[in-house]
Structure 1
Amino acid sequence: MELRPYRPDDLDELIALTIETFGPFYEQSYRPVVGELIFTNTHGEWRDDYHRHVATLHNPDENRYAAVAEDGGALVGYVAWDFDPAKRHGGIDILATASTHRRQGLAKSLCEHAFAHLKAQGIETVEIGTGGDPFHEPARALYESLGCTPFPTTRYYREL
């Protein structure tokens, strides 16, 4: 397994990996809970949203970075992070791993890679978020194993 910096030619694979990773959340967790109207109005175009968002993740001029994991030449995961040097605070924007490489320590390695980069930039704190639903349970366990402190929030939806 090799971790390396993002390259522009990674973009299509990162988008595909992101859609593969988070598709089950949107289609099997979020949509059934909130219903069609709320789903459509909030995340009905989630695939297109990822096409736009993933393209913005790596921009060192704006303190945004991404690193990818390769296994045998195949892209199997990535992490993207950003930081505000004035506040000495950073955040993990997105973390995704291929289904074939989950529960093998890859996500932990990706987070630790981002944390090391942030620390080298003088960043003192980092924020990472995830959902409170069953789909995100492995992410919560990972972040807590990395020493992150959870702060619960609740988001409510209602049709008008």
Structure 2
Amino acid sequence: MAAHIREFQESDLSRVQDIAAAAWVPVFSSFQKLVGDAIFDLAFPQWEDEQRRLVGEACHGDNSLPAWVALDGGEIAGFITVELNHESGKGEISFNAVHPHFQNRGIGTHMYTFVLDWLKGQGMKVISVSTGGDPSHAPARRAYEKAGFTCAIPSVRYYLEI
């Protein structure tokens, strides 16, 4: 059974923030290994609180983005937000995650298919999504490729303690 997608509601906020925090633990653990403890502590202090805040702002508030949740068995299993520019015809998948307990069930693919169709219906001509090139982001890269994303621009972010 495919997940059910519905618009984000204010009452979803805490669960969506919990999903982001749980889903991104491997990412920030990878970052810590890649940059070392000293840089990690400087560059990503309280990363979980910061991600909760950013996701909260994206989903709810004065400048919120279009957002949806994916339900599996009535439980919120994932979420996705998008940005769109009607003048340029560019859309972007921004924050998105599936809770680790619900991963590998096709929920991410279902969310991407849903928002790609929605963005096309909004007149977008090109859609982008960004993710990391480190091993912790490999599942996201596979999911985006499965959804049809084929062009990628490699990127590197350097850190320096001063």
- Which TM-score applies when normalising by structure 2? 0.90
Residue 93 (structure 2) aligns with: 92
Residue 35 (structure 1) aligns with: 36
Q: 1:60, 1:48 → 2: CA distance?
A: 17
Amino acid at match of 1:151: I
Amino acid at match of 2:87: A
- 2:105 is equivalent to residue 104 of structure 1: yes
Structure 2: tracts of 5 or more residues without a match: none
- 2:26 is equivalent to residue 24 of structure 1: yes
Shift of 1:140: 0.9
Shift of 1:63: 7.6
Task: Answer 1 or 2: higher relative contact order, Cα 8 Å, separation at least 6.
Answer: 2
Residue 70 (structure 1) aligns with: 71
Q: 2:118, 2:64 → 1: CA distance?
A: 11
Residue 8 (structure 2) aligns with: 6
CA RMSD of aligned residues (A): 1.8
Residues 66-94 of structure 1 deviation map (CA, whole Å, 9 limit, x = unaligned):
11011222110111111111111011111
Q: Which runs of 4+ in 1 moved over 3 A?
A: 58-63
Shift of 1:62: 5.5
Amino acid at match of 1:125: V
Q: 2:132, 2:16 → 1: CA distance?
A: 21
Residue 137 (structure 2) aligns with: 136
Tell me the percent identity: 29
CA contact (8 A) 2:5 2:68 kept: yes
Structure 1: tracts of 5 or more residues without a match: none
**Number of equivalent positions:** 159
Q: 2:60, 2:66 → 1: CA distance?
A: 6
105-114 vs 52-61, which moves further: 52-61
CA contact (8 A) 1:59 1:65 kept: no
